[in-house]
Amino acid sequence: MGRLTTLAGVREDAGMGAHGDLSWLEAITEQARGLGRPSREQALAVLAAEEDVLLDVVAAAARVRRAFFANRVKLNYLVNMKSGLCGEDCSYCSQRRGPSTGVLRYSWLDPEAAAKEAEMAAERGAKRVCLVASGRGPTERDLDRVSSTIAAVRARRPELEVCVCVGILGPGQAESLRCAGADAYNHNLNTAESRYGQICTTHGFSERVSTVRSAADAGLSPCSGVIVGMGETDEEIVDVAFRLRELEPESVPVNFLMPFPGTPLAGRNDLTPAKCLLVLAMFRFVFPDVEVRIAGGREMHLRSLQPLGLHIANSIFLGDYLTSEGAPAQDDLQMIADAGFVVEGPGESTLPPHRRPAVPALRRRGPGSELPSNA
């Protein structure tokens, strides 16, 4: 028998198989389909589920995913505008200060070079381009560079969503990015507040929270997620998920640690494909109607179970990551098709109707038109 978990005062066996009592899982699923959120105990039970109920958990999360996102997969593409050269000491990051990790190091890409990358990604089905630069946060000159890059992307592919990720934002900087044409801003919380000092000492958790809030207040779509596999406990994974929920992001990237040589977390490999699926399922239950994205580490940690991840998450990155290589785009497109999914098109809304802002219906009848008035 598996580990016992208490849910709503009832002892349930979290390790029971398909013939056991899975009423706890059905309860979480129906809550999520009705836009309810799991309790802390329920979220922990998902993470603690044993492998003989893994497919039951995946199937339950898939019901939630299908309810709000049907069979669509949103494709995102990363453009690393400035690589390495970062003064922060984030333990997980290959671009951190300190010993060389062997990654490419270069200063700002020319805006046209970045726009060409975005255009290539759009041709392969990407709906969003994520413009990323290493560093603590942008200077005003950096913001000018980013603004020029957004303009270059818009000139080539006006239909692309543009997300920016350039670190901790100062006063007025989120507004500047919005005015420049950015649609979204990414700044991950990464891990629980109680653990944050163990993975970074050059900035604090509160600065990350305030940046996500600043982006949302400026009218940018907030994108914020996590990195799993850094030695955190299940309780800490739930802590950061629930803290994220308070910030109401519209997209939640779930990264799995890439243990780059030369970083303090080099050699760490705590994750299994099954654990990664449970983590994704927990985030789906916590964020039933929000874009959940399988982000960095997908190929390394999910491995042959990547197609199952698509039944939980509705979004992935296409191609390479910031400093590591991903799968060839054609392989990912084939995986999506083989699993019975379709790529989300530029004219389709990612979020379900109840999450979209109300837009007035423009008058097309009456005076000034050839149609009779709606009287």
Q: For residue range 213-265, what is the model confidence (pLDDT) as tens digits?
A: 999 999 999 999 999 999 999 999 999 999 999 999 999 999 999 999 999 99
Range with the lowest mean pLDDT among 57-71, 89-103, 187-201? 89-103
pLDDT at 11 over 50: no
In the chain, where the domains are located: 4-67, 73-348
Q: Is 200 a catalytic residue?
A: no
Q: Please give the average per-residue pLDDT across 277-293, as a whole number.
A: 98
Burial class (CB in 10 A: 0-12, 13-18, 19+), 347: exposed
φ, ψ dihedrals at 126, nearest 5°: -65, 140
Per-residue pLDDT, 359: 59
Q: Is 223 a catalytic residue?
A: yes
73-348 CATH choice from 3.40.190.10, 3.20.20.70, 3.60.21.10, 3.40.50.11060:
3.20.20.70
- Tell me how far apart the alpha carbons of residues 129 and 176 are, in angstroms, rounded to a whole number: 18
pLDDT bracket for residue 273 (50, 70, 90)? very high
Per-residue pLDDT, 3: 40
What Cα–Cα distance (Å) separates residue 332 from each residue in 175, 257, 279?
Answer: 35, 20, 21
Which residue out of 72, 128, 163, 200 is catalytically annotated? 163
Cβ atoms 14, 45 nearer than 8 A: yes
Which residue out of 90, 165, 200, 276 is catalytically annotated? 90
Which residue out of 65, 72, 86, 208 is catalytically annotated? 86
Q: Is 165 a catalytic residue?
A: no
For residue 293, the surrounding DSSP H or E stretch is: strand 291-294
Range with the lowest mean pLDDT among 179-188, 203-212, 348-357? 348-357
Q: Is 90 a catalytic residue?
A: yes
Q: What global pTM score does this model have?
A: 0.91
**What average pLDDT does the structure give for the chain?**
92
Bridge-based pairing state of the strands 251-256 and 161-165: unpaired
Q: Is 276 a catalytic residue?
A: no
Give tens-digit pLDDT for 86-122. Answer: 889 999 998 887 767 788 889 999 999 999 999 999 9
- Tell me how far apart the alpha carbons of residues 185 and 22 are, in angstroms, rounded to a whole number: 39
Structure tokens at 25: 């899982």
